[in-house]
């Protein structure tokens, strides 16, 4: 269980996912742990991943804390409503809807991978060219970080912030309902919609996930769904994995992360669809 | 930070240092407490070779039972305390950010961050009420 958690943590911090999306299926399918207990442990793992890696990302300026804080308003609202709604909505339907949304969202990411592999490594410059929207300007959302793999400082500006924020609400909703970090949605909102460089998107997603997860973790804890015998080893494993992931992220090229991201989302989407069509079993 | 200019050369700002510190301390503290709990578990011989996932060992489900368990050095309670510290870390991070943004006189973000904290706290209160 600790080994699975380590891998989930490393993958989570590299991809901007909470790791819960790996922890929950493995625990329920292979270790036969009750779903509520798995979701409770998962939400803990999600906080561990986020905090473990975000501490480094914030200091390195990879994570944009202003963007994170602003969008957390929406993810926290979503997480609270999700955790309160959990169990009152038809689960299978939600799984199907989310898997379809994830599949749809793979299209632009796939296009970018293709264009990047053809040698047009313009991804990190996209932020320079776009005009900021009014909200981004008013809230000072522009950012900059040093990218060792490019050997220079990458500056960026953001657009379509309101649309990104709207997606964040649904990311939070999914998190609260399913006990996942839903970093996938967060990365998509920042990378594809708002035009943030992929490394900043994953780092900022990690930064935000902790707050999203904490919003529902309190509710899970008060329900008694956090079993320390499951959650404690999972938290330790994921923590170690996420520290490892945060250490190697700055040295990996952006396109590699995007391909890994694409593959993970494809697997998750298929998993969610099967789960939903199977009636939530 | 209003002007764009050469902000890249700046050292990390107060908010970034404070947030990073809170996250680091929270995570290390939580991990240490969880390890202590696991050590107690081994010491008491509750587990031998591997952790018994499906065994119905009782564990505290609210803060009152948790406190009593910690005083009795109950392994499950000590591990739960570590998990509570982990859950509390993002809350603390948000609270500390409010102060850090206020010290920088960035009132826009004092409002934003205070709103986030309000939602987090309201969520727990509503969760208890709905339980």
pLDDT higher than 90, residue B60: no
The percentage of residues in chain B with a pLDDT greater than 70, rounded to a whole number, is 73
How do the domains of chain B map onto residue ranges? Answer: 13-130
The chain B residue lying nearest A135, using CA atoms, is B108
CB neighbours of residue B50 within 10 Å: 8
Tell me the residue ranges of DSSP E strands in chain A: 143-147, 152-156
- pLDDT, tens digit only, all 281 positions of chain A: 666 667 766 766 666 555 666 676 667 666 667 667 777 888 888 888 778 778 878 877 788 888 888 889 999 999 888 887 765 665 566 667 666 766 766 776 777 777 777 765 444 444 445 566 777 777 777 777 777 777 777 778 777 888 888 888 988 888 887 777 777 778 888 888 888 888 888 888 888 888 988 888 887 787 777 888 888 888 887 777 777 776 776 676 667 777 877 787 788 778 777 877 775 54
Given this model, what pLDDT does residue B7 score?
A: 42
Polymer length of chain A: 281
Q: Which residue has the higher pLDDT, B95 or A183?
A: B95
pLDDT band for position B117 (50/70/90)?
very high
Given this model, what pLDDT does residue B115 score?
A: 93
Lowest mean pLDDT among A129-143, B76-90, B101-115: A129-143
pLDDT higher than 50, residue B6: no
* Helix %, strand %, coil % of chain A (to 5): 75, 5, 20
Rounded to whole angstroms, the Cα distance separating A102 from A264 reads: 11
Record: contact A73-B57, CB cut-off 8 A: no
* Residue the block writes with tokens 């859950």: B87
- Can you give the pTM of this predicted structure? 0.77
CB neighbours of residue B71 within 10 Å: 9
Record: contact B119-A69, CB cut-off 8 A: no
Rounded to whole angstroms, the Cα distance separating A267 from A258 reads: 14
Given this model, what pLDDT does residue A199 score?
A: 82
Given this model, what pLDDT does residue B75 score?
A: 81
A143 strand-pairing partners: A156
pLDDT band for position B52 (50/70/90)?
very low
Given this model, what pLDDT does residue A223 score?
A: 72
Given this model, what pLDDT does residue B95 score?
A: 92
Residue B48: CB partners within 8 Å, gap ≥ 6? none
* Helix %, strand %, coil % of chain B (to 5): 75, 0, 25
Which residues in chain A touch residue B77, judged by CB atoms under 8 angstroms apart? 228
Angle at which helices A65-85 and B75-103 pack, to 10 degrees? 140
Which residues in chain B touch residue A83, judged by CB atoms under 8 angstroms apart? 123, 127
pLDDT higher than 60, residue B5: no
Record: contact A227-B59, CB cut-off 8 A: yes
> How many CB pairs below 8 A link A and B?
173
Q: What is the ipTM of this complex?
A: 0.76
Which residues in chain A touch residue B17, judged by CB atoms under 8 angstroms apart? 59
Q: Which residue has the higher pLDDT, B102 or A258?
A: B102
Given this model, what pLDDT does residue B105 score?
A: 86
Rounded to whole angstroms, the Cα distance separating A96 from A90 reads: 11
Q: Which residue has the higher pLDDT, B49 or A108?
A: A108
Given this model, what pLDDT does residue A29 score?
A: 61
**Under 8 Å between Cβ of B113 and A69:** yes
Which residues in chain A touch residue B86, judged by CB atoms under 8 angstroms apart? 44, 47-48, 51, 235
**Under 8 Å between Cβ of A19 and A11:** yes
Record: contact B90-A155, CB cut-off 8 A: no
- Measured CA to CA in angstroms, residue A209 lies from A26, A32, A111, A203, A219 at distances of 21, 26, 26, 10, 16
Record: contact B53-A31, CB cut-off 8 A: yes
**Under 8 Å between Cβ of A154 and A124:** yes
């Amino acid at each position: 269980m600790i080994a699975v958690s380590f891998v989930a943590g490393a993958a989570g911090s590299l991809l901007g996912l909470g790791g819960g999306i790996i922890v929950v299926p493995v625990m329920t399918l292979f270790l036969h742990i009750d779903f509520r207990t798995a979701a409770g442990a998962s939400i803990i793992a999600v906080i561990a991943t986020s905090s473990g890696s975000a501490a480094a990302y914030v200091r390195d300026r990879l994570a944009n804390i202003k963007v994170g804080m602003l969008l957390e308003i929406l993810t926290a609202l979503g997480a609270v409503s999700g955790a309160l709604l959990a169990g009152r909505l038809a689960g299978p339907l939600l799984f199907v809807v989310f898997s379809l949304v994830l599949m749809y969202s793979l299209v632009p990411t796939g296009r970018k991978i293709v264009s990047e592999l053809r040698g047009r490594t313009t991804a990190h410059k996209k932020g320079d060219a776009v005009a900021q929207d009014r909200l981004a300007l008013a809230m000072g959302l522009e950012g900059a970080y040093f990218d060792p793999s490019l050997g220079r400082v990458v500056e960026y500006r953001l657009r379509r912030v309101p649309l990104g924020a709207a997606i964040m609400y649904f990311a939070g909703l999914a998190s609260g309902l399913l006990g996942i970090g839903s970093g996938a949605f967060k990365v998509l909102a920042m990378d594809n919609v708002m035009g943030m460089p992929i490394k900043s998107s994953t780092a900022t997603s990690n930064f935000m996930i902790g707050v999203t997860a904490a919003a529902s973790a309190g509710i899970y804890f008060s329900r008694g769904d956090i079993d320390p015998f499951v959650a404690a080893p999972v938290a330790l494993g994921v923590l170690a994995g996420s520290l490892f992931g945060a250490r190697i992220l700055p040295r990996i090229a952006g396109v590699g992360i995007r391909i890994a991201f694409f593959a993970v989302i494809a697997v998750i989407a298929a998993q969610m669809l099967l789960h939903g069509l199977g009636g939530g079993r | 930070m209003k002007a764009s200019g050469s902000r890249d050369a700046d050292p990390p700002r107060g908010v970034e240092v404070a947030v990073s510190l809170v996250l680091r301390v929270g995570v290390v503290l939580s991990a240490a407490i969880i390890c202590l709990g696991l050590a107690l578990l081994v010491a008491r011989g509750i587990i031998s070779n591997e952790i018994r996932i499906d065994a119905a060992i009782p564990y505290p489900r609210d803060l009152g039972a948790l406190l009593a368990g910690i005083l009795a050095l109950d392994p499950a309670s000590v591990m739960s305390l570590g998990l509570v510290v982990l859950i509390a870390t993002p809350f603390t991070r948000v609270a500390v950010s409010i102060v850090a943004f206020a010290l920088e006189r960035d009132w826009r973000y004092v409002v934003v961050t205070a709103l986030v904290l309000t939602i987090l706290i309201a969520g727990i209160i509503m969760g208890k009420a709905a339980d």
